[in-house]
């Protein structure tokens, strides 16, 4: 079967959870997310493109690019990106000759309701999900870097120092049509 998915750059969302009462655009904030693209260059200088998140197999073990870095909250700088100190990072860095990353978008995550409220879920899916339908559901509002940094650094209510390391809830492929020209909320 032929794969017709457009290839692009593999990106991961690094999310800082928030459990306070802060609101953004009138909605309860559930977190803040930094999206990071991973650029991998082969020995011949060509950038590797993906059509989906794929584990990298090295010596029979599977590794994911999101494990190469850790993203941690910093009250003064917003966040820091550092190389992971785990074994996966060491193995991936030895195997891949050229890897670098860039921040490609910022978002503030807000409470949208529960999974039960999600109109995209069919009744059959809702029946299978059962009691977890009452778990909170969030959506992301893409914002400019300036709005993001102002929100996470200068808002005393958003001090999440006890939630130091970001979680990685999702991955996506950045193509020419996806997230490259997202409408952002600016301070204008």
Which is it for strands 69-74 and 78-83: parallel, antiparallel or unpaired?
Answer: antiparallel
Do the beta carbons of residue 166 and residue 16 sit within 8 Å?
Answer: yes
pLDDT in tens, the chain (188 residues): 455 678 899 999 999 998 888 899 999 999 999 999 998 887 777 888 888 887 877 778 787 888 888 899 988 889 999 887 776 667 777 777 678 889 999 999 999 888 777 777 788 887 887 778 887 788 899 999 999 999 898 877 887 877 678 989 888 898 866 543 333 333 33
For 45, the token pair is 């200088």
What secondary structure does DSSP assign to 103-158, as a single string? EEEEEEEEEEEEGGG-TTS-HHHHHHHGGGGGSEEEEEEEE-HHHHHHHHHH-GGG
Length of the chain: 188
For the chain, the domains span 9-112+138-174
Name the region of 60 (left: φ>0; alpha: ψ -120 to 50; beta: rest).
left
């Amino acid at each position: 079967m032929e794969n017709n998915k457009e290839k692009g750059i593999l990106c991961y969302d690094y999310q800082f959870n928030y459990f306070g009462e802060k609101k953004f655009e009138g909605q309860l904030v559930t977190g803040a997310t930094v999206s990071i693209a991973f650029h991998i260059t082969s020995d011949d200088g060509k950038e590797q493109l993906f059509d989906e998140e794929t584990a990298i197999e090295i010596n029979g073990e599977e590794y994911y690019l999101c494990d190469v870095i850790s993203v941690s909250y910093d009250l003064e700088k917003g966040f820091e990106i550092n190389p992971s100190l785990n074994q996966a990072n060491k193995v991936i860095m030895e195997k891949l000759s050229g890897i670098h990353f860039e921040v490609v978008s910022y978002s503030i995550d807000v409470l949208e309701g529960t999974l039960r409220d999600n109109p995209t879920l069919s009744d059959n899916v809702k029946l299978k999900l059962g009691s977890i339908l009452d778990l909170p559901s969030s959506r992301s509002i893409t914002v400019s870097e300036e709005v993001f940094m102002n929100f996470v650094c200068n808002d005393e209510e958003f001090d999440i120092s006890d939630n130091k390391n970001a979680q990685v809830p999702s991955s996506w492929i950045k193509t020419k049509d996806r997230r490259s020209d997202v409408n952002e909320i600016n301070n204008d």
